[in-house]
């Protein structure tokens, strides 16, 4: 192990992806669930960059996908936070278990 190759970077992104999944499954607060989604999106970005660098260095496509994912993540986070603030205004809580008016 004298040089960093693709498997090491993929291990980092794999671990980060499943950390995000774990947070998404255990957390019940909307803001922390949003943070978990950000971790998952970042692990995907690491994957794109790693594949672009180590396997397809003659193209820049992975880099462009990363750029667009970052843009869409920004849009998604802003819409999610607008929804969370609106929800807090109506229910005074952002716990997903307590906001169940449409459940029945």
Partner 1 sequence: MNASVIIFYIIAAAIIGCGLLAVTSLKIFRSAVYLLFSLISIAGLYFFLDYEFIGAVQIVVYVGGIVVLIIFSIFLTQGSGGLMKKPALGRIFFAGLATLFGAILTYMLINNQLFIPSNQQAIAPSVENIGAQMLSTTEHGYILPFEVVSMLLLSAMIGCIVIAIKVKTPELKNSVEIKEVEFGAADNHTIENTDIKIVV
**Contacts (CB under 8 A) with partner 1, residues 18-37:** 18-23, 25-29, 31-32, 34-36
Contact criterion met (CB below 8 Å) for 54 and 8: no
# of chain residues touching partner 1 (CB under 8 A): 77
Q: Compose the 34-63 pattern: x for residues touching partner 1 by CB under 8 A, - for all others.
A: xxx-xx--x--xx--xx-xxxxxxxxx--x
Contact criterion met (CB below 8 Å) for 41 and 65: no
Which residues, numbered 74-93, are part of the site for partner 1 (CB under 8 A)?
Answer: 74-79, 81-86, 88-89, 91
Say whether 34 sits in a helix, a strand or coil. helix
Q: Does 102 bind partner 1 (CB under 8 A)?
A: no
Contact criterion met (CB below 8 Å) for 25 and 74: no
């Amino acid at each position: 192990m004298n040089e960093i190759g693709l498997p090491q970077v993929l291990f980092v992104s794999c671990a980060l992806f499943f950390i995000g999944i774990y947070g998404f499954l255990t957390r019940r607060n909307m803001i922390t669930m949003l943070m978990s989604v950000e971790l998952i999106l970042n692990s995907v970005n690491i994957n794109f960059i790693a594949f672009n660098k180590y396997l397809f260095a003659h193209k820049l496509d992975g880099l462009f996908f990363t750029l667009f994912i970052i843009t869409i993540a920004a849009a998604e986070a802003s819409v999610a936070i607008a929804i969370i603030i609106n929800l807090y205004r109506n229910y005074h809580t952002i716990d997903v278990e307590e906001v169940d008016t449409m459940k029945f």
